[in-house]
Amino acid sequence: MGVIRLITGWPGPSGFGSATTAEQVTAGIDAGDLTVVITGGASGIGLETSRVLALRGAHVIIAARNVEAANEAKQNILKSNEKAKIDVLQLDLSSLKSVKDFADNFIALNLPLNILINNAGIMFCPYQLSQDGIEMQFATNHIGHFYLTNLLLDKMKNTASSMGIQGRIVNLSSVAHLHTYEEGIKFDSINDKKSYSDKKAYGQSKLANILHANELSRRLEEEGVNITVNCVHPGLIMTNLMKHSLNLMRIMKFLTYLLWKNVPQGAATTCYVAMHPDLKGVSGKYFLDCSEWPASDFARNPTMAKKLWDFSNHLLDSALQRS
């Protein structure tokens, strides 16, 4: 039924489907009081998410590695929406120093923070280590966002408490989380070059995004904090994320063209989970085509989620001590 809905665009339980666009899922929503940080918000579905949330009145902070490109994206948004509230701050998720600098710079702006969208990522890149000595896909897609979320969490808690508006954290994952290493997460050999697979390493990082969201959701609920945490699979969209495997993706798209989305459709689930009033109080879930969807057995394993949380903190502590 899920594949049929994907091909036909028929709506799911939410009333939206694979053919729904980001503008459609946010129609009628007034986000004028909200401040949003989105990583990778200057290109692809991140840019469309930035544009649509700004269209609904949100103050959008684009966190981007390439500030020049991000400022160009900001100007393009302003051309179609002169009232858009957009700011740009530099962020390189593969660098823990850059993540800390971004968080410090954002906090210095003395803005509230209602919504954090962990959107940026890299995909299928050749084996390499980050400057902090962590396998690059795991470092960028998971550890960078894990650290960023930790650094901004107190700001989000204070905002939710002072404004009385539920905060939302959205992690972008992928159906690729199903295609990971045999053990799910390679806790004992995260940097092993011999066993490295660019596809499985990507799947591992996307699995980590879901486990991170689930464990954070559990912890916030236990604390009684008014913040939800969810994950989304945006769908198959041809963007710059696929620059390391363009030929493979073109062949795949040719063979499975009915399953692919355009960028406005690809941003819909992110915008739905970040903004829609129907999701008030919904946390620790995985969404596809704007409807809740079962993730893998690994992704729903609370023991693995807790282990990843502790592993990530240990990895962070070790990297930060070396720097």
Q: Please identify every residue annotated as catalytic.
A: 196
Closest CA relative to residue 159, chosen from 95, 222, 110, 96:
110
Decide if 114 contacts 165 (C-beta within 8 A). yes
> For residue 101, how many C-alpha atoms fall within 13 Å in the half-sphere facing its CB?
13
Residue 55 identity (one-letter amino acid): L
Residues 6+ apart with CB under 8 A from 2: 288, 293
Residue 223 identity (one-letter amino acid): E
Distance CA 181, CA 186 (A): 7
Q: In 3-state terms, what secondary structure has residue 294?
A: coil
Closest CA relative to residue 162, chosen from 211, 112, 196, 88:
112
Decide if 230 contacts 170 (C-beta within 8 A). yes
- For 213, other C-beta atoms within 10 Å of its C-beta total 29
Note the helical H segments in 189-228: 198-223
- For 96, other C-beta atoms within 10 Å of its C-beta total 23
Q: In 3-state terms, what secondary structure has residue 308?
A: helix
Instruction: Note the Cα 223 to chain centre separation in Å.
Output: 23
Q: In 3-state terms, what secondary structure has residue 86?
A: strand
The CA angle 261-262-266, to the nearest 5 degrees, is 70
